[in-house]
Amino acid sequence: MRNMQPHMTVDRIEGDIAVCEKEDGSRCEIPLDLLSGDVKEGDVLNPDGSINKEETALKKERISALLKRLKKGSLNE
C-alpha cells in the first residue's frame, strides 16, 4: 500500500547537492550530507530524507514499462 506522505524524487546530483522534484512539480536543493544512505538519481525520498526503496522500485518499473511500450510504438496498451 502506498504511503500517503509526500515524497520527492532525486532529479540529479550537482556536486554535494541533490536537486529534487516534489510531487507538485516544484524543485528544491538538499545538501547530500542531510540525506541518508547512498542517494542517487531517480531515488524516491521520504520526508525524513531516507530512501523509500519500495517507491523507488515501483517508479523504476513504471518507467521501464513505459519505455518498452514507446519502443514498440504502442502507448495505448
Q: What is the pLDDT of residues 13-71, one digit of tens each?
A: 999 999 999 989 999 999 999 997 799 999 999 988 899 999 999 999 999 999 998 88
Sole residue written with cell 550537482: 14
Kindly report each contact of residues 47-50 with a partner whose C-beta sits within 8 Å and lies 24 or more positions away, as own/partner.
Answer: 47/5, 47/6, 47/7
pTM of the predicted protein model:
0.78
- 42 secondary structure, DSSP code: T
35 Ramachandran zone, left/alpha/beta (phi>0; psi -120 to 50) = beta
For the stretch 26-40, pLDDT in tens is 999 999 999 977 999
